[in-house]
């Protein structure tokens, strides 16, 4: 967003200060488990027009069963929706989301919850470093700068998938994989290799407990009621 200001220490700016609305420069995505990372970007000859990019992204998001993003619920999806309604596109269908930032905050106390840190800490690989000047060059329509931005964007997706895979066994609201595979399996990774691990005793019920045998998963889950207590 390009705005006017009376100085560098102005505490607050109103919408009257906006000279150019914020827009989306590029978007990258991949289907979980596949190698290819896809990307789309603005036309460097028309750097202030993101309609084509938003239209492409709208189609891609509409095809997904689940959306995984880091801070996606609070930022990415809301920013996308703002640009989509501006361009007259219809709302996305209701799609379950998994926000790895929320998972990191809810289940752990990492020294940082930023994607770059989590990627390095959990997977040994972080984001590509960029500088402020790169963003300015993209705004000016520099094709090489835009190509570098897309490369940075695609690496974010690679790191995100690795972080998601590590965090996945801890996600309590993860859509159950058995709904898509139509077999009894681990609810997060979909593996049919799991073991019985005692019982889960709740307030009035007893359930069979299982643990996924896949080394990088290990998700605990439970089955149908084994017994139910009568409470009077």
Strands (E), 13-141: 18-20, 26-29, 38-41, 67-69, 97-99
Per residue in 58-94, pLDDT (tens digit) is 999 999 999 999 999 999 999 999 999 999 999 999 9
Structure tokens at 211: 């643990």
Per the CB < 8 A criterion, the answer to whether 56 and 43 are in contact is no
- Count of C-beta atoms within a 10 Å radius of residue 8: 5
CA angle 189, 194, 196 (to 5 degrees): 135
For residue 126, name the pLDDT band (cuts at 50, 70, 90). very high
Domains detected in the chain: 2-170 (3.30.420.10), 178-228 (no CATH)
Give the single-character DSSP code of 65. Answer: S
Structure-token pair, residue 30:
């991949």
3-state helix/strand/coil string of 16-51: HHEEECCCCCEEEECCCCCCCCEEEECCCCCCCCCH
Q: Among 29-38, 122-131, 216-225, name the one with the lowest average pLDDT.
A: 216-225
Burial group, residue 76, by CB count within 10 angstroms (0-12, 13-18, 19+) = middle
Entry pTM: 0.89
pLDDT tens digit string along 153-163? 999 999 999 99
- The answer to whether the beta carbons of residues 185 and 171 sit under 8 Å apart is no
Q: Mutual orientation of helices 51-63 and 77-86 as an angle, nearest 10°?
A: 120
- Residue 34 binned pLDDT confidence (cut-offs 50, 70, 90): very high
Please report the pLDDT score of residue 32 as a whole number: 94
């Amino acid at each position: 967003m390009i705005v006017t200001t009376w100085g560098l220490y102005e505490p607050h700016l109103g919408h009257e200060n906006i000279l150019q609305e914020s827009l989306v420069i590029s978007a990258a995505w991949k289907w979980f488990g596949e190698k290819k990372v896809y990307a789309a970007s603005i036309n460097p000859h028309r750097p202030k027009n993101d309609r084509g990019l938003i239209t492409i992204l709208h189609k891609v998001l509409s095809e997904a069963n689940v959306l995984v993003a880091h801070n996606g619920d609070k930022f990415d999806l809301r920013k996308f929706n703002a640009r989509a309604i501006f361009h007259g596109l219809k709302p996305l269908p209701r799609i379950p989301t998994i926000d790895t930032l929320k998972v990191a905050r809810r289940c752990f106390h990492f020294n940082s919850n930023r994607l770059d840190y989590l990627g390095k800490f959990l997977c040994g690989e972080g984001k590509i470093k960029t500088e402020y000047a790169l963003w300015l060059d993209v705004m000016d329509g520099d094709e090489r700068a835009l190509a570098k931005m897309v490369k940075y964007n695609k690496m974010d997706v690679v790191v995100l998938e690795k972080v998601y895979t590590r965090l996945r066994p801890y996600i309590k609201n993860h859509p159950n994989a058995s709904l898509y595979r139509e077999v009894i399996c681990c609810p997060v990774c979909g593996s049919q290799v799991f073991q019985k691990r005692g019982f889960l005793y709740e307030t009035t019920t007893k359930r069979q407990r299982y643990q996924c045998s896949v080394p990088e998963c290990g998700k605990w889950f439970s089955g149908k009621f084994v017994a139910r207590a009568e409470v009077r």
